[in-house]
Amino acid sequence: LEGEEASVIALGDGERFVLLAPAQDHKRVGEGDTGPNTGGMGAYSPTPAVGEADLRVVADKVIGPAVRQLAKEGRPFRGALYAGLMMTAQGPKVIEFNARLGDPETQTILARLESDLLPALHAAAKGDLRGVELAFSEKAAITVVLAAEGYPGKVRTGDPIAGLDQVQEDDDLIVFHAGTALRDGRVVTSGGRVLGVTARGATVEEARERAYRACETIHFAGMHYRRDIAHRALARSGGSK
Ligand code: GLY
């Protein structure tokens, strides 16, 4: 399949669904989308790969039919339904479905969510999403994954993480812990994808600059991350890579 990958996640109540804002993940370990696949080295939302019209097509041709068919088969789906898509010239094609949120897509999507998530999750779990609407900010959000040495292969763990206390977290910057552990009062690496630095900004450029500035203050032995997260959005907008 030729095109750009995109992730569209829906919250379903077994019958109805609401869509979360689309995001684009960077699955390959290396810059320029090279090297082996990972769980995701970074993501951003919104993505120009999925415009308003594309999102309606995804709702009508992908999520809607999946939700209806599951209900018809007596397996109504309540929860987060993640469609991994390839946006081709012939429209969106499904690569995979996951019955969960996406990581690191969700960090960027929730950074843009203006509605309260909990009532929406509750409504989905109770089977009645009627009246639930999710509003997303016009702002852009980006997550850069800081990975451990060896990731996505065999990783080294136990490396102390420095600089976390230097990062000024605020409404527009959050460092999510993923593969970390507390050992003797120190935060150390304990998995492949160690931290997810998530930033928000008026534009993807602004969000990106904020995220990478924070990445530069964090350090652990063997740490690596991609420096080109959101490169496709920047190329489209004429920004630098
Ligand atoms: N980031 C890809 C996934 O959550 O499956």
pLDDT in tens, 49-68: 999 999 999 999 999 999 99
Q: Which residue spans within 101-212 are E strands per DSSP? A: 140-147, 173-177, 180-183, 186-189, 193-201
d(CA 184, CA 146): 22
* Atom number of ligand 1 nearest to Cα 96: 5
Which residue's alpha carbon is at the smallest distance from atom 5 of ligand 1? Answer: 102
Strand partners, 30: 34
> Is pLDDT of 207 > 50?
yes
Of 20-24, 192-196, 237-241, the range with the lowest mean pLDDT is 237-241
Position 83 scores a pLDDT of 98
- Residue from 27, 100, 103 whose mutation best tests the ligand 1 pocket (most atoms within 8 A of CB): 103
Taking alpha carbons only, the member of 161, 40, 176, 28 closest to residue 111 is: 176
Mean of all residue pLDDT scores within the chain: 96
Ligand 1 center from residue 203 Cα (angstroms): 24
Quick one: pLDDT band at residue 239, thresholds 50, 70, 90?
low
Percentage with pLDDT > 70 across the chain: 99
* Ligand 1 binding site (Cβ under 6 Å of any ligand atom): 25, 39-40, 98, 102-103, 105
Cis before 48? omega within 30: no
Quick one: pLDDT band at residue 180, thresholds 50, 70, 90?
very high
> Is pLDDT of 240 > 80?
no
Quick one: pLDDT band at residue 241, thresholds 50, 70, 90?
very low
Model confidence, pTM: 0.95
**Residue 133 token pair:** 């609407």
Ligand 1 center from residue 144 Cα (angstroms): 14
